[in-house]
Structures are given as C-alpha cells and as structure tokens.
Structure 1
C-alpha cells in the first residue's frame, strides 16, 4: 500500500512555492494552479522523498517553465501592453512580500528573460538557493546555471527600485491624483506627474485601454482630457460616484476601483522627488477574477 503524502511538509513549503510561481508567471491565478499541480504530483510520491522542500521547489520550477513556454505565442499576440496580474494586500496587513521583489517594474523586467533564465535568477537571487541546488532543481550543470544567472543579471541590472517607497507619502500622492482626476483638474494632475512619467493600461483586448504605454506627463494628461471631452469622466461612474478602496498592489500604494464597466486596479510608483513616476492600470477582467475570491 502506498504511504499517504506528508501534508505537513507540503503546507510548510506552500507559501514559498506560491511566491516562486507568482514571480515566474506574473499571475496569482496561475501560481495557485501550479501549486495545486505540485500537490498532485507530491501526493503520488507516497511521501518517499528525502528532501521534501527541494523536491517541491524543483517540481514547481519545472511546472512554471512548462507554462511559460506554452504561453509564449499567447504573450506575443497579447492585445496592448501586458501587466502582471495584480498582487493585492490589504493596507492593514503586514506585507508578505519584499516590495522590490514583486514590483511591477521588476516583474516586467523578468518578462525579458527566457523561462530558464527567470527560474535561475529567482531561485538564486531572490530565494537564496546556491548554484548547486539550482542546478539540481533545473536538471542543468552548475556551469550552465552560472551562465544563465550572469545573462539574467545583465538584463535586470536596473530593474529593482533604487529607493524604499514611503507608503504614507505615496498613498497621499495616489489620493491627490484621484481627487484631481475626479474634478477634471488637469493642471493639478500635471503637477503630480514626473516629467517622464509612464502610464500603462492592460485591457487585454477585453476592455477599453490605451494600446501603447503613455510616456510623459503631457501624454497622460492629454489622454485624461480626451476622455473628458468624450463625456467619459474617468474613472467616475455615471451616477457621479468615485468608488474605490485603498490597498497595496505589488508593494505599491494602489486602489481597487468600481466604475460602471467593472472593477479595475491602479498602482502608483512615486519617484524620489515625490511625484508619480509610473501608474499601472489593470482592466483585463481575466486578471481581476481573483479579487472576488
């Protein structure tokens, strides 16, 4: 008779597996699916594994690599800019993740890596696995793993935030932006934005969204002004209400909004001068399904 799997060992590893899978895939939903797949495979081992954590990390890494390779064509034909599925935390909770390791900018930079480069970088650079352990996990030689790590680090050199975000100050900045947008205060909006600010909106072809990143304060304000001219006072509902809840999104101050056409999220990245350097907006309903769970 096959021995039952060690549930305690799996549950102890689950948070680590979920964090790894989210960084690999940029999707909360897919990360949960991968962890569930890892559990199914774990349950079939009969508990006969010498190092459960290493086995589970190896299995999760390989499942993520398989998904990334299968998703390659889908990503290449994605309509408009792609953003990671927002990682939502209530402001009342202590952060579960280091902000720099789940920032939108960092996850977007990971998209430039091959699946193997991404796995090596995350296992070694974020989860502190030594090269020998990474090599065993990925079924590669240690020399090959070191080469993959070197290539990944070159790509990601400037990806992590250069300074810690003051959450309270950034939250006030986000609220000021929303207040100015609600009033149609274009001059006020312009003052809140860094000169080279970027706004990225991910609608995935499912909901209206800009089909390119908006670069520069002038470009962003012009978009908001254009919506106002067309009678769409974004993102206010037709009854004049501005419904939103403040949350933490990928380590940044953010909002979950409820306009007429369904929920959306906004995450605000400040710069060192206290202005908004980036605004990340997710409108693709497929990336917001986990908000209702």
Structure 2
C-alpha cells in the first residue's frame, strides 16, 4: 500500500536522526523511478536538472512550474522527496511564506531555502534578511502540520563568496531560525566539512558531491555528515552522454551509442506504470 504524505515525512525525518544516507537528485519521473528501483531511501529534486530538461537555465523557471514539478515528483514514487526550492520564490518574507505553503501542499517531505539573490552584484541576502526569510518559511511549516523538514542553505561557495567564516555565521543563524538541517553547497575539504558540522551541531548537515570526489559515503559518515546529495550531477552525466552522441551524429558518425541502455531494460523498468 502506498505511503501517505505523513508517513513519507516521518520516514524522511527519521533518516536524519543518525547515520548518513545518500539523497540522489532525479529530474523527471523516469529518473526518479529508476533511483527508487535501486533501493534509495529518499530523493531530492534538482532545480538545475529540471530547468535544463525544460530548456531553461538554472533559477530561470517560474514558481508555478516548479510547484507542478514537485507534485509530479512526489507522485512518481513512494519515496520521500526533498524539494530544491531555490530562494523561496518570494520578494519578501511574506512572499516566501506563501510559496512555502504552496510547496507543502505538493506533498514534499522537506524543502530547502537558499540565501542567494540571483543578483551578481550582490549575490547573497544580508544576513538579517536571509534569517527573516527562513523564519517565515519556518512559520509556514509550523502552521501547516510542522512535519515538513526545513533545510537552510548558505550559498557562499557557489555564488563567488567563498568565505568560510561568513558561511558558518550564516548556518548558525539559520539553525537558530528554525532550520532542521543545514547545507553549504561548495564546501569540499575535510576541514571545511568538519567546521560546518561543528558549527551547527547537533543539527544534521547535508554535503553536496557534484563531481569526482576522493570521499566515499563511509568517509563522510565518519566525519559526521548525515546526508549526501549530488545536485545536478546525474542530470549533467545524462546530458554529457546525449551531447557526445548528438555531436557524433552531426559529424555523420554513429559511434556515440556505446553506453546506451537497452530498450528492453528500460521497458522492463517501467512496465506497469501506465
């Protein structure tokens, strides 16, 4: 019997209580169902992967489309879904709260709020503004059952402001504002990861692995990381294979299909989903 939204949210919260789990990022129904078939305990959306699938750049898809995508992903499998909810889709805290309420209604088990502005000249919200936006998200969750996990993200290292001290201050403020889990995409070294974990302990920390890494899941578990996501990396792998094969076709060659999955394998994976 399919799990209810409440059951998915409870299972997702339990995953954050101890140990470390992999949180892979599909971008459509097919990729979500394949990941579910491999036995992952939860999945997370990727704003970049979904944007590219619609022919847009990351952070250039509107709220309504994102909400529809979240509902689609929640309905695609029986796994809890964590939403990459960008910076909350609101011009001010009230707007963030409204958007979060709409996201909760899609059935997601968790959602992340970034502190990035999208403005290259001032890429991060001032701390007090970022905190107010996260507090608004927290209130919206609490007013709508309280069981959706809130993830606070400090975007310093991905928007060109790789200041670890400021990152730690921000994450601590987001933890105090009600974030259940903290996340600083772009931190890569053992020392950076350990500093983030220590700064927000005992709250769980997400680490992004977006390219080849010397770390294993076992290594990250030993450091105290609670969950590991890959952002748009799986989508980029898929795009890489497609682009190489298409470029070969443009040159009149057919040698780009060597790593293609078989049609029989894919049909077997998705049979019964009509």
Return the TM-score normalized by structure 2: 0.28
Q: Of the two, which has the highest radius of gyration? A: 1
Return the TM-score normalized by structure 1: 0.27
